[in-house]
Structure 1
Amino acid sequence: MAITTKIFGFILLVITTFMVISVSCSSATVYKVGDSDGWTTKDETYNYFWVEDKEFHVGDSLVFEYDPLFNDVTQVSGALEYEFCDYSSAKAVYNTGHDVVTLTEPGYMYFISSNRQQCASGQRLVVHVVHDPSRPIPPPPPSKVLLPLGNIYKVGNSKGWSVPEETDFYYKWAEQSHFDIGDKLLFEYGNEENDVYEISGDLEFLSCDRISPISVHKTGHDLVTLTKPGVHYFISSKTGHCEAGLKLRVVVGPLTKPVTVPNVPAKQMELTLMDQYNRWLRSFRPQPHN
């Protein structure tokens, strides 16, 4: 009888624990921002209509759905940045087109589009998050990786980002500078006339292939941080612009891992990847026409 009672008690404990866990897990709410319309430009719809009947708690999640080729979600730190559509010191940037943002702490959270025109037209959201004592506090997000404080290079100097008179103008511009992790490229242009597409490889760069960009910038004042070593490629997606020379290839270094090159004298055996990149890039330099 005692054994039966213990078994029954154990089963009851397991069931109770499972029910508590199930209730805790299911208590968090997932909100699709903008409902069926998603994350888009609407006249203050998000703040005056979409949020008015909702209460956001720690542990809830926001789902932003949009076209990642033309939009993003930028979390800014305060009301002033939110009011003036200032994304220069963003807390986080999401650009997958289906971003799930978990509300991890109480307080106000501010979200905007980095496209200033769209942000000014109403594509911004502020939510007030409250802590519900009956819900477990989610774990904190992973620590943000801090990049070194780098230099800011205005692409093209006074010319900015525009169709050049010489097709190798931006090649020459990049040759004059050494880029390190943490440096930033500033692209300035008329946002009605141009844009900046970051693309993934040399074949796409040579053929001006804009089909699958890594990221898209359209504000006219785009600040792009170089976060990893290697070759980075940027083009304009506007018809004929890239083909006319509006494209940029920059090498971010230094890369110090030695590589072995066959069929060369022993003194030249240890070459850095940066040497290889520089030699490789020079092979693509346009040749003068006779």
Structure 2
Amino acid sequence: MAARIVAALACTVVILRLSEAAVYKVGDSAGWTTIANVDYKLWASTKTFHIGDTVMFEYNPQFHNVMRVTHPMYRSCNTSKPISTFTTGNDSITLTNYGHHFFFCGVPGHCLAGQKLDLNVLRPASSTPLSDAPTSSPSPSTTTIPSAGVPGPSPSHAASLPSAAATVVALLVSLVFANFAS
């Protein structure tokens, strides 16, 4: 009985963390582009990114792509050996590690024109990390990424995903009551 209560409490903690996950559309309504003169550095500075958050890159794949790169590659707009490249035009990337994550468009001239993004996932001061191990998904349109391991600050504003959390809570409650009934 005590083991079931501990398991239920552990699941509740996981659910609470999931309910805090946010989805960010890079560049907001402008998306991932060079046309709208979006300041992606400013855009990222108005957000606080956490483990489990998702960043969505929406763009025309005929004119853009998304490359995840190292910090030196980001600084110099070097497209020679990206960590990963996304080309669907609707790429969702789940952040799985703390630290900086670097992206840019690999189309010649776009990175130099400012189509580049440095986002920082902060480590909470009073919480245990979910995972520091890099993971990735084989799907090109939805993937998880490790950080580049460079520390730095970032202010806040995020949309939560209460519907996913509510679904998980409902499932957990039904499982707990099913176990108590038996």
**1:103 paired residue among 83, 95, 99:** 95
TM-score by length of 2: 0.62
- Of 8, 20, 24, 1:31 maps to 24
Question: 3-state DSSP class of the match of 1:21?
Answer: helix
Question: What amino acid sits opposite 1:76 in the alignment?
Answer: V
Q: Given that residues 59 and 138 in structure 1 are in contact (C-alpha distance below 8 angstroms), is that contact kept between their aligned partners in structure 2? A: no
Q: Give the structure 2 partner of residue 94 of structure 1.
A: 86
1:38-81 alpha-carbon deviations (Å, 9 max, x no partner):
11114351102x11221122332211111122211011111x42
Number of positions where the alignment pairs a residue of Structure 1 with one of Structure 2:
135
For the residue of structure 1 that corresponds to 2:111, the secondary structure is helix
Contact 1:85 1:116 in 2 (8 A): no
Does 1:73 find its partner at 2:89?
no
1:11-90 map, 5 Å:
16-41=9-34, 42-43=36-37, 45-48=39-42, 50-78=43-71, 80-90=72-82
CA RMSD of aligned residues (A): 2.8
Question: Could you report, residue by residue, the CA deviation over 1:199-219 in whole angstroms, capped at 9, with x for unpaired residues?
Answer: xxxxxxxxxxxxxxxxxxxxx
Q: Which amino acid aligns with 2:95?
A: L
- C-alpha distance in 1, partners of 2:22/2:128? 14
> In 1, distance between residues paired with 2:28 and 2:18?
23
How far 1:112 sits from its partner (Å)?
0.6
Inter-partner Cα distance in structure 2 for 1:140 and 1:100: 17
User: Any idea what the Cα deviations from partners look like across 1:227-276, whole Å, max 9, x if unmatched?
Assistant: xxxxxxxxxxxxxxxxxxxxxxxxxxxxxxxxxxxxxxxxxxxxxxxxxx
- Between Structure 1 and Structure 2, the one with more strand by share is 1
- Cα deviation 1:82-116 (Å, max 9, x = unaligned): 23321101111011111112222222221110112
User: Mind listing any 5+ residue stretches in structure 2 that lack a counterpart?
Assistant: 139-182
Question: Residues of 1 paired with 2:74 and 2:117: CA distance?
Answer: 8
| Residues 59 and 137 in structure 1, CA contact (< 8 A), matched pair in contact too | no
Q: Are 2:51 and 2:121, in contact at CA under 8 Å, matched by a contact in 1?
A: yes
CA distance in 1, matches of 2:5, 2:99: 39
Distance 1:43 1:138 in 2: 34
Identical residues among aligned pairs (%): 34
Distance 2:48 2:3 in 1: 38
Query: In 2, distance between residues paired with 1:59 and 1:127?
Result: 14
SS at match of 1:116: coil
Q: How does 1:1-290 map to 2 (within 5 A)?
A: 16-41=9-34, 42-43=36-37, 45-48=39-42, 50-78=43-71, 80-132=72-124, 133-134=127-128, 136-137=130-131, 140-142=134-136
Using the alignment, how far apart are the partners of 1:19 and 1:13 within structure 2?
Answer: 10
State the TM-score, normalizing by the size of structure 1.
0.41
**Gap change, CA 1:134 and 1:32, over 3 Å in 2:** farther
